[in-house]
């Protein structure tokens, strides 16, 4: 179990280092960004994730392909998902999944993915991650089971509270209020 967690962290750090070395702006999003934020408050509350999600500007994909290939990643486009497999025998779960800044992940999403400018360096984490408000917006937009769990994790450590729904469009505000009203799910 510990090795599985370590492998995801190693994949994240290797991908981030490759992008940084190539001068490609990026931001870690998804479960790893949630973990980075939760860690700031309570390390014991961190929930680990099985993959790595990275936000890139659409025009940087070709440069990212070169940079990540040098780090051992293999680019694939499968079912409308851009990903970098961690070696020739890797599965989609052993990958870095790419989301594009300023673009909707699904056509009917309420909001597009954030811009890279909505990111910051994670303290002691060795990578850029999305800002808390942008992360919450992404999680509210996706709103799958795991997104709701991540939102409850952020609320559970006090990173988001009753003042937050006012920051978002009505549909997202309603979703966040639901999370805040049902902390146990």
Tens of pLDDT along the chain (185 residues) come to: 788 889 999 999 999 999 999 999 999 999 999 999 999 999 999 998 888 999 999 999 999 999 999 999 999 998 889 999 999 999 888 899 999 999 999 999 999 999 999 999 877 768 999 999 999 999 999 999 999 999 999 999 999 999 999 999 999 999 999 999 999 98
Q: What is the pLDDT of residue 128?
A: 95
> What pLDDT digit, counting tens, does each position of 3-14 carry?
888 999 999 999
Q: What is the pTM of this model?
A: 0.94
Tokens for 48, please give them.
């680990």
Q: What is the pLDDT of residue 125?
A: 65
Nearest to 180 by CA among 167, 46, 114, 50: 167
Q: What is the pLDDT of residue 122?
A: 75
């Amino acid at each position: 179990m510990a090795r599985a967690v370590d492998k995801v962290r190693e994949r994240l750090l290797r991908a981030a280092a490759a992008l940084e070395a190539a001068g490609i702006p990026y931001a870690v999003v998804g479960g790893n960004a949630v973990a980075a934020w939760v860690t700031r408050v309570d390390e014991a509350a961190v929930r680990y994730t099985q993959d790595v999600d990275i936000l890139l500007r659409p025009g940087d994909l070709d440069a990212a392909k070169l940079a990540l290939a040098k780090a051992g990643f293999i680019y694939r486009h499968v079912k409308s998902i851009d990903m970098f497999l961690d070696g020739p025998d890797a599965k989609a779960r052993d990958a870095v999944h790419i989301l594009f800044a300023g673009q909707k992940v699904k056509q009917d999403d309420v909001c597009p993915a954030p811009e890279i400018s909505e990111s910051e360096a994670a303290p002691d984490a060795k990578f850029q991650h999305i800002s808390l408000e942008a992360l919450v917006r992404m999680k509210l937009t996706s709103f799958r089971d795991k997104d709701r769990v991540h939102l409850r994790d952020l609320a559970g450590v006090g990173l988001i509270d009753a003042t937050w729904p006012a920051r978002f469009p009505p549909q997202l505000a309603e979703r966040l209020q639901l999370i805040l009203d049902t902390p146990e799910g």
